[in-house]
Amino acid sequence: MVLTRDERESEADVEKDPESYLLARTLSSSPKLGSLVRRLILGTYQHDYQTTENHIEIVTHCTALEDLKIWGYNSRLQAEYIAALRNLHSLRTLNISRYCLADFESDSFMGVEEILPMLRTMPRMEQFRIPTVGYCEDSDLDALKKYCESHRIDCHWSS
């Protein structure tokens, strides 16, 4: 049997992380299933690019998600991940660790100046834990603290 390039790539994707690949494929072919998902815990073993790509696709299809935990991510896909998160308007808790399941550290997920605009799209947010970049403007940090206090959001970020 001769496989096409797409079939070979699909087989390689399944071998790397069969669970995330199959879930992403299932949700893309059955969008109603994604609307039923309320909680996800996603982890990469070693900040794998394909696994992170699958996780982004999974999150994109889970439009009613309320609780999301992410253990590791490939830093080359941060912009795509942040874009997917901005569309999760029902989120109540978001916990992101820069450490993958093998305990290797990745780059910071987003800057403090990016957190507040994202939080404003999530009116139900109750808890927010995320690694950030080291430097931020005092005005950005003050605005974020005030927003979290006024909306009673348990907010934690680290540098």
Q: Output 75 or 92, whichever has higher pLDDT.
A: 92
Tens digits of residue pLDDT in 81-110: 989 999 999 999 999 888 777 776 676 677
- Written as six digits, the tokens of 93 are 């808790």
Q: Output 76 or 13, whichever has higher pLDDT.
A: 76
Comparing CA positions, the residue from 113, 76, 79, 110 lying closest to residue 94 is 110
C-beta separation of 44 from 72 below 8 A = yes
- The answer on pLDDT for 7 being more than 50 is no
Give me the mean pLDDT over the 114-120 stretch.
Answer: 87
> Which pLDDT does position 97 carry in this prediction?
84
Q: What is the C-alpha to C-alpha distance for residues 20 and 44, in angstroms, rounded to an integer?
A: 10
Q: What is the C-alpha to C-alpha distance for residues 42 and 72, in angstroms, rounded to an integer?
A: 8
Mean pLDDT estimate for the chain:
83
- The answer on pLDDT for 2 being more than 80 is no
Complete domains list, the chain, with CATH: 17-158 (3.80.10)
> Which pLDDT does position 133 carry in this prediction?
60
| pLDDT confidence tier of residue 16, bands split at 50, 70 and 90 | low
> Which pLDDT does position 54 carry in this prediction?
94
| pLDDT confidence tier of residue 36, bands split at 50, 70 and 90 | very high
Q: What is the DSSP string of 115-126?
A: HHHHHTT-TT--
Rg (CA), the chain: 17
Quote the longest CA-to-CA distance of the chain.
Answer: 62
Phi-psi region of 5 (alpha: psi -120 to 50; beta: other; left: phi over 0): alpha
> Which pLDDT does position 13 carry in this prediction?
47
